[in-house]
Each structure stands twice: as structure tokens, then as C-alpha cells.
Structure 1
């Protein structure tokens, strides 16, 4: 849907994204420029992306340890984060 069409029918666009749980892509000159999605769907996507980033960071840390790099002591981690 073009940005101009979406502007004219904003309530319909929001309702479609919310009810159907499918993103509504907005275009300008035939190119996608934005998407309207349900807020709860966005929250779930953000949480999933954060979980995936945590999993990847843990994998990388394990690989570093497997390659012989020393682990950072827990007390140092707490001190670096201002928790000690």
C-alpha cells in the first residue's frame, strides 16, 4: 500500500495489522519503506531477537573458552557492572 493511501486510511491500516497479525507494508515509488504491525507482535519479535542475541553471545563465549581464552572471573564481572 502506498504511503499516501495509508495516510488516507490510517485507521483501516492499523486495524488490519492488529486483527490479521500480518504486517501492512507501505511503499513509496514502488519500494517498501515501512511496515505497520500489531504492537504485541512487535514486542514478541523484539523479545525473540534479544533471546537470539543472548544465545549467540553465549556461543561465542563458549568458543573463546574452547580456544583457550581465559574466562572472566564472576567477581570482576560484578565489579565492572557496578554490582559489587
Structure 2
């Protein structure tokens, strides 16, 4: 995996990665967002909806 960066005035201005690496990075970000959303949902206060009710609500039963 080769990664290159370019500098402008001594500061990193751009990073070049392969398309495959870019896709892996996007997937990792999506996974992190999903995990954060799950953690937020679990931390919410209030009553829980039973799984049987959820299945009925979405028409799975």
C-alpha cells in the first residue's frame, strides 16, 4: 500500500491513496458511524420495543 502526500508551504496539502485503499477507508468510516449510532441508541433512556412487536410493525409476521 503506497500512500503519498504533497506539501504546500511546509504543510500537508493532499494525500494520494489507491482506489482500493480509499474504498477500505470509506467502509471503515461507515462502520464507525454505524457503531456510534448503535451506541447512541443503546444509551437512550425509555422503554424498549419487544422484538415480536417490531416484526409485527414491519410486516414480518
Identify whether the pair has TM-score above 0.5, normalized to the shorter chain: yes
SS in 1 for 2:6: strand
For 1:33 and 1:59, the matched residues in 2 are separated by 34
The whole-number CA distance in structure 1 between the counterparts of 2:43 and 2:36 is 10
* Aligned counterpart, 2:46: 69
SS in 2 for 1:33: strand
Determine which structure has the larger strand proportion and give its number: 2
**How many residues in Structure 1 have an aligned counterpart in Structure 2?**
53
1:56 and 2:36 correspond = yes
Give 5+ residue unaligned stretches, structure 1: 1-20, 79-84
Structure with more helix by fraction: 1
Q: Residue in 2 aligned with 1:47?
A: 27
TM-score normalised per structure 2: 0.72
1:31 maps to which of 2, 8, 11: 11
